Amino acid sequence: MPYPNEASCRLRSPDDFEKNSFRRIQQGKLAIIIGRLKGKDTTTAQAYRYPVAKWDKDEARKHCEKNKGTFHEAG
């Protein structure tokens, strides 16, 4: 699942979420994919995106590990 211009960090499976509930929000230099979990009314982070122009690969990997996600380098 590599993206050409950003590394990614999967926090939860997309299958845990309602279809068509995903949104991308920006928080500083970090992009966060949020969605509504099945049966819930609030949103939850599903993944982080790290634009290669703003994040060093090692810095992004450490952030992902700190948040207990699965890291994927930019492709």
On whether the CB atoms of residues 64 and 58 are closer than 8 A, the answer is no
Does the residue 13 lie in any domain?
A: yes
| Total domains present in the chain | 1
Note down the domain range covering 45.
6-58
Does the residue 68 lie in any domain?
A: no
Q: What is the pLDDT along the chain (75 residues), one digit of tens a residue?
A: 578 999 999 999 999 999 999 999 999 999 999 999 999 999 999 999 999 999 999 999 999 999 999 999 998
Does the residue 1 lie in any domain?
A: no
Does the residue 63 lie in any domain?
A: no
Q: What is the pLDDT of residue 1?
A: 58
Q: What is the pLDDT of residue 71?
A: 98
**Stated pTM of the model:** 0.93
Q: What is the pLDDT of residue 3?
A: 85
Per 3-state DSSP, what percentage of the chain is helix, strand, and coil (rounded to 5)? 15, 45, 40
Does the residue 45 lie in any domain?
A: yes
